[in-house]
Chains A and B, each alone.
Chain A
């Protein structure tokens, strides 16, 4: 009977989708053990998120509503969650492996002196004890992580590896509003610039990437046009980034971002092991490459052997027609 908590992550009250994916995972584990799921909501004026959490599978909610939690800061959010978890000791404490989750979770684990497995691909229970499957060696190995008896057992879930439940608006539950003692802060957020215009690689369900075959900076608009028509993000291989054709923020692979979109279209990318490590778990991979022997074809579900400058624009046009754009 595992009592599982999940953290509901948001920015100014807008929930991050990873929260509902984590909730779905918590639900799966709770159902297996006959336990329950508690959504933890931290913020300022965010109690409505508790209701949404019920729709996505939570049984109950713990809400800390405090003006001091308006801006996310590790020291306040971490302290709040650590205090709650220390006082009530859930069996398992989960959150998303987002930028926030990946710093809150180790902070809380350190404060509580408990075990943590970050960036889980999957989770399971052995009795009531958590088992986590997670990538190590930048995705070149998979490790199975087991925990000591120290509670809570903590883990963060990678984005897009486990689907959120369909929201059920009939569901509801008990909301408990609690207060915590927040520490004096040593940090202050003095500015924020929203990443605009471009779809972030982290969130994208579709990524279109270009590699050495793109030939130069002047080739990337062709690749981007396809990404744009699909509402996807623009990615790149290390070769293209190193050559200075496109900024590093677009790099997919071992020394860039690890992504797992539903659709990954690789244009002119041969598929070095280091690039594959960052994208090979994508749901559907399409490869367009001149070289029929390029390793990328071993991972692709659909392949086109040919000049990307002929095929990519044709795809863009065809999608425009089909998607009515």
Chain B
């Protein structure tokens, strides 16, 4: 067992954390009240290699391993959840999906520009009437000659207004439940696709969240990802990758909350001494510190399993469930340490508290993950090998 990060990891971590502190956080502090997506960060993230961090160089990526995907997720969410969401959606949900399931032609055409960050990609699974219950989705794909015609609406789609490429899940065989779902790579320029923004979110105000509407959207048959009816498995494997970034990102929130609380506890004085000397404040800080370490161990284990090519659906679910709940609790504790100031938008912890609630809900609610964990423990659920697994990391 070796818990240490490699030199490469440490350098990557420093670069990503510096970028988060110097570029991302000041921008987010300015844009959050305006509900403005920090679009100018995308070319900068692309230039660094952030958007294709764990994809091989031959596909335009930076060639790092999967632990590195967690490292950059953690670094970005320390600044704000929205920037980590970009990585979760663009890199994990979409690009890793194509990397795992795509043909060589699809990889060259779509993965390469996405890994380089020249094209931005998103993921369209959730619908107004189908969230955690994926099999209930109602978007249809009808085959006419060499083309599929997609009709339906996707909701809560991160980067909906920004993305160039969409990974859309639709039923090719409506008779079957989840076995009738197929996955399609859709370009914004294809006729019949439209997007819009959803307003009024509780948090993650700098993230672009929207809807995607397709009305007989024409998608060439060669843009089907995987085989007909394989969409559900593809979606679930994409979620394994994204949930991993959500878990790692949540530890970024916890680190931010710990740093802010420690600094504030040293600075703020009540009853004649710094509040760091008060034991109940110490308890709050101990709680955050404990959750941060547990969460980090959980996501790093998943990163290691991914590197080794070991199936990790259970471990990922556990990490996602724990880390997001822990981040929400930690942000709440951090606000408490800050007292009334923590409740004000002048301090980052207020934003982290609002943001952290989202991740407890998306990518499978805590309750879905509890069911999954129970099913694994009770022997109701066993993961079978997939037709195509996420490739293990090779240097």
Contact = CB atoms under 8 A, between A and B. Distances in A.
Interface in A277-308: 291, 293, 295
A293 B268 contact: yes
B391 interface: no
A150 interface: no
A242 B26 contact: yes
A315 interface: no
A142 interface: no
A1 interface: no
Q: Is the interface of A mostly helix, strand, loop or mixed?
A: loop
Interface in B251-275: 267-269
Nearest to B263: A272
Nearest to A272: B263
B267 A293 contact: yes
A243 B33 CA distance: 14
B348 to A, nearest CB: 12
B30 A243 contact: yes
Interface residues of A, number: 5
Nearest to A291: B341
Chain B: interface size category: under 10
A210 to B, nearest CB: 16
Interface string B15-42: 0000000000010011000000000000
Contacts of B26: 242-243
Interface in A197-236: none
A50 to B, nearest CB: 50
A295 B267 contact: yes
Contacts of B341: 291
B269 A293 contact: yes
Nearest to A212: B346
B142 to A, nearest CB: 51
A69 to B, nearest CB: 44
Nearest to B25: A242
Nearest to B29: A243
Contacts of A242: 26
Which of A243, A291, A293, A295 has the most chain B CB within a 10 Å cutoff?
A: A293
Interface in A161-203: none
A258 to B, nearest CB: 21
A225 B26 CA distance: 27
A286 to B, nearest CB: 20
A242 B26 CA distance: 7
A243 B26 CA distance: 7
Nearest to B341: A291
Contacts of A293: 267-269
A180 B29 CA distance: 59
Contacts of B267: 293, 295
B79 to A, nearest CB: 13
Nearest to B26: A242
A296 to B, nearest CB: 11
Interface string B296-310: 000000000000000
Contacts of B29: 243
A291 B341 CA distance: 9
A175 B267 CA distance: 58
A324 to B, nearest CB: 39
A242 B27 CA distance: 9
A253 B186 CA distance: 51
A291 B340 CA distance: 11
B263 to A, nearest CB: 10
A82 B30 CA distance: 53
A295 B263 CA distance: 11
B22 to A, nearest CB: 8
Interface in B312-368: 341
Nearest to B268: A293
Nearest to B270: A293
Contacts of B30: 243
Nearest to A245: B30
A291 B269 CA distance: 12
A209 to B, nearest CB: 19
A291 B267 CA distance: 12
Nearest to B30: A243
Nearest to A271: B267
A265 B18 CA distance: 31
Contacts of A243: 26, 29-30
A293 B337 CA distance: 14
Interface in A229-257: 242-243
Nearest 3 CB-CB pairs, A to B? A293-B268, A242-B26, A295-B267
Interface of A: 242-243, 291, 293, 295
8 contacts: A242-B26, A243-B29, A243-B30, A291-B341, A293-B267, A293-B268, A293-B269, A295-B267
Interface of B: 26, 29-30, 267-269, 341
Given A291-B341, A293-B267, A293-B268, 6 more contacts: A242-B26, A243-B26, A243-B29, A243-B30, A293-B269, A295-B267
